[in-house]
Chains A and B, each alone.
Chain A
C-alpha cells in the first residue's frame, strides 16, 4: 500500500494507492494515527487509487473515524471507485462516512 501525504493549511490529504485489505490496512492506521500529532482539522482520504476494500479495510476506516472524532478531527473519504462505493453501500457504511466524489 502506498500512501502519499499532502498537508495544506489545516487539511491533511492522504492519497491511498493499492488494495485496502487485511494485509495492507495496518499501515494506513499507523500513518493516520501518527498524523494526529500534526493537529490537522481535517483528514481527507483520497481513495481514487484504491481498487478494492475488504472488511478489514472497512474496519480500519471505522476505527480511524472514531479515533479522529475523539481528537476533534474530521475524516472525509473522497473519490472512491464505483466498486469501492458498492462495498460501502452493501455494508450500509455509506451513510456513516461522508463519501463524496471530489
Chain B
C-alpha cells in the first residue's frame, strides 16, 4: 500500500552458508539452540568426550559451551579443543554464561574463548554476534587458502627458476668455475649461466630481474634464452648487451621492471676476459700475488630495459694465475653500502678453492653491517679462478 514502509529483515541463510555449530549445553529451555539455529546448523553433543571427538572428526565452524553447568568444565574443555590439532587452534569457541558470573566470564576469556553469550539469552544480539564470528571465520579461511595458494606458487616459481640454472659448470684445465645460491625458498630474479660456445669463448652471465613474481621469472627465462642466442654469434660483449637491451625494450617496453646483467666472454686459452655490466654491480677481482682486491674499473651501462638511448661499453683484462673473479647478485642489499663487509669475507676465504669460497659467500651468515634485507633474499655467487697455466687445446 502506498505510504507503507516495509521493513525487510534479512534472514541468515544457514543452508547457503552451511555453518555447523557444535553445542554442549544443558539448555533446558532450548533458547540457546534455537537462537544459534537462526544462523547455523546446530549439532547437540551429549558430553565433553562426544564434543571433543566430533570437533576433531567433523567439519565444525564453531563450538558453543554452556558454562555454569556442573557437568561441564569449560576451562579444561577450551584447552583441550585448542591443544589437540592445528585446525582447531583458532576454532571460534563461544561460552554461554550467566550475566552475573563475572569470574567465570573472565576465566573463559583467559582460557581462550572467542566470545561469551549472555544468559539468559538475548536472541537478537546473540544471533548478530555469532553471525559476525562465523563470517570472520569464513574470511580467515579464505585468506588462509589464498595464502597457501600464493605460497605454493612462490615455491613453484622458485623451483622453476632453478631449472634455468646450468646443470654443471664447464670443466676446463687451469680453470675452476663455481656457483652457489643461498636459497631461502622464495623466488628472486637472479640466475647465472656459464657455458662454452666455442674453443675460445666461455660465456659467463649473471642476470637479476627486478621483482619476485612470475613476471620476473618469465623475463629471466627469456633473457637467458636471448643471452644464449645472442652470445653465440655476437662479435663483442657490448654488441651483445645492446642487442639484449633492444630485445627487452621491444618485448616488454620500459615499464621499470629492468634486468641487471653481467656478461663476460672468456678465452680460456689466453685468460683474456672481455666483459661489461648492465646495471650489475661491478665484480670483485682478487689477486693471489697481492692478496688484495684489484680495481676493475669496469665499463657498462644501465640495466637492460631502461632506455634505448644508451651505449654499452666493455672492458678487457687478462686474469693472472691464481686470481679469481667474484660475481654476486647481492646487488643493492644493504651490505653493499656497508663498505668492506663483502671484501672482508672474500679476504677471509682467499685460501679456499673457488667452490668452497662460493659456498661460503652464498651460505655464510650475514656479516655484521649487513642489514635485515640481506637475510631475506636469495643470493647467488659465482667464483671464477685461474688455477695454473695449462694451455687449453682448441676444440
Interface, chain A (partner B; CB < 8 A)? 21, 52-56, 58-66, 83, 86-87, 90-93, 95-96
Contact = CB atoms under 8 A, between A and B. Distances in A.
A63 B318 CA distance: 38
B277 to A, nearest CB: 7
Nearest to B301: A92
Given A59-B211, A63-B257, A96-B307, 12 more contacts: A52-B334, A52-B337, A54-B333, A55-B210, A58-B258, A59-B210, A59-B257, A61-B256, A62-B254, A63-B256, A91-B302, A92-B279
Contacts of B331: 55, 90-91
Nearest to A54: B332
Interface of A: prevailing SS: helix
B173 to A, nearest CB: 35
B256 A66 contact: yes
Contacts of A61: 256
23 contacts: A21-B373, A52-B334, A54-B332, A54-B333, A55-B260, A59-B257, A59-B258, A61-B256, A62-B258, A65-B256, A66-B256, A87-B332, A90-B281, A90-B282, A90-B332, A91-B279, A91-B302, A91-B331, A92-B303, A93-B302, A95-B310, A96-B307, A96-B310
Contact of A66 (B208, B255, B373): B255
Nearest to B371: A52
Nearest to B277: A92
Contact-residue size bin, chain B (C-beta under 8 Å from the other chain)? 20 to 34
Nearest to A23: B373
A96 B332 contact: no
A62 B306 contact: yes
Nearest to B302: A92
B182 interface: no
Contacts of A95: 302, 310
Contacts of A52: 334, 337
B337 A87 contact: yes
A60 B256 contact: yes
Contacts of B268: none
Pairs of residues from A and B, 10 with the lowest C-beta to C-beta distance, nearest first: A63-B256, A66-B254, A62-B256, A91-B279, A59-B210, A59-B256, A92-B302, A55-B332, A96-B302, A93-B302
